[in-house]
Amino acid sequence: MKVLDSIDKFAKTDRIAVKCLDKELTYKELKNYSDKIAKYLLEEFKEDRTPIIIYGNKKNEILPVMMGALKSGRAYVPLDITFPEQRVNQIINEIKPKVIFNFTDSCLKIEEALEINYNDLKDILNKTISVRISNDNWVKEDENCYILFTSGSTGKPKGVQISKRNIDSFTEWFERYLEFDECPGNILNQISYSFDVSVIPIYIGMANGKTLFSLNKDTLEDLHILFNELTNSNIDCWVSTPALAEICSNFDDFNKSNIKKLSTFVFAGEVLTKKLVRELMNRFPKTRMINGYGPTEATVLISAIDINDDMLSDERSIPIGYPISNCELNIVDEHGNKVKEGQKGELVVIGDSVSKGYFNNPEITNKVFFTTSQNQQGYKTGDLAYYQNGIIYYCGRKDFQIKLNGFRIEIEDIENNLRKVQNINNVVVFPIFNEEHKISHLTAYIVLNEENELSNLKNAMLIKNELKKLIPSYMIPRNIKILKEFPLNTNGKIDRKKLMEDLK
């Protein structure tokens, strides 16, 4: 496995593997610690390869536990500290782990599992002499590397299983796309380990000897500390959701003069707006801007594109890019037939990047995963898209299609047109249901580019008047609420769940 081979290789140098605030972990320490953890798991749990659970947020020692699990032939399941207690317990009950590495101050008290806290881990690392773990023990081909739990429509989280084969497929393609080499460099490691975009710094960054510059939860919650950390980071590759960059762009000093080495932005996880890209291009001239797209079920990203001025002047939204080179991406109609160029349909991915399915959940797995006649794994993304000149354009979720007063409406269509309205930075639109569980109207939450002295009502009137020029009246949200900023969830995405709670 390339990341494990690379850790061994860079352990012979003095390179730093990860930094968080004032603490560092070298590649030499990462190798030694991960070997010791692998040895501990192999000796204590013998042939039992049940996945381990890692509960915490950005502590440097989390990475040796992850790599130690892989070296012992086990998958890891990362749980962030922002997960509610009920979600944590649901996942633990689903996995039934033999061991939980707990990097928090709370005690989980799971009777069936051995709970290793931070002090216990230090004892393991201090007691054990240096060891070498044979790569015969490492995870292999179709064995799971990690399991990430995503929200399920039933309220029960779904565990997406990602194997070594899946990881290899993704990293071989995207490493080439990023044009990474083994020169020293710093890559932003802000995204929660429970969110798949964090795989980019871990499996591509460390595979090329980069330093992961970590931002923990406390840092992200204090904008001044956040900005100070970024200005002192020396990062040359930025990986995040668009939402974090939007927050940072509130600082006038967020620019090339203060983050001098930054040469590449990689965005994924949610819609990237033209307004944000224009702002960043002004502040970071000649910096590469990459828009990526992909479901967790197909390993992080399955398409990407470098954004240029032509895309910003185009009436269409920013494309999600060219398809991954070692997978097949098809756009199909409701009968599974490929549509013509320019026609909208569901995006389906086939190839080695596709997960084997949801952990211990065959019923839901069989609804969206399939195997082709050539024995390749496929996944129906549920996302609508179309091809134009070999480039894919995203059109929203199938399940974001609604019917209001007899009209079929796509929520993303409204959101994209709202973003064209003067002074609107970003927007989220929700359907509102009545007591009969039918959609009665739409509500839009909006963040402005520049705050003004107008009331919410007057701002809403101005926005609706401009929106009438772009979309039919039946698509215009009845209610428009102006916010100073959107709340973010642990993945760095706009917290739609929190906004929906405000509607109740």
Binding residues for D-alanine: 196, 300, 493
Give how far Cα 381 sits from Cα of 107, 354, 394, 421, Å.
37, 11, 12, 30
Task: Name the burial class of residue 501, with classes exposed (0-12), middle (13-18) and buried (19+) by CB atoms within 10 angstroms of its CB.
Answer: exposed
Gap between the Cα atoms of 461 and 479, Å rounded: 10
Gap between the Cα atoms of 167 and 163, Å rounded: 6
Q: Is the alpha carbon torsion for 315, 318, 320, 322 positive or negative?
A: positive
Gap between the Cα atoms of 135 and 141, Å rounded: 13
Binding residues for ATP: 150-151, 383, 394-397, 493
Gap between the Cα atoms of 449 and 68, Å rounded: 46
Helix (H) or strand (E) holding 99: strand 99-102
Binding residues: 150-151, 196, 300, 383, 394-397, 493
Which two three-digit tokens encode residue 168? 């290899």
Give how far Cα 89 sits from Cα of 49, 53, 94, 157, 484, Å.
21, 11, 8, 11, 34
C-alpha dihedral, 207 to 209 to 215 to 217, nearest 10°: 40
- What are φ and ψ of residue 364, in 5° steps? -70, -35
Gap between the Cα atoms of 272 and 144, Å rounded: 31
Helix (H) or strand (E) holding 320: none
Q: Which residue has the tokens 């399940």?
A: 399
State the number of CA atoms in the 13 A half-sphere of 27 facing the CB. 24
Three-class secondary structure assignment of 140-156:
CCCCEEEEEEECCCCCC
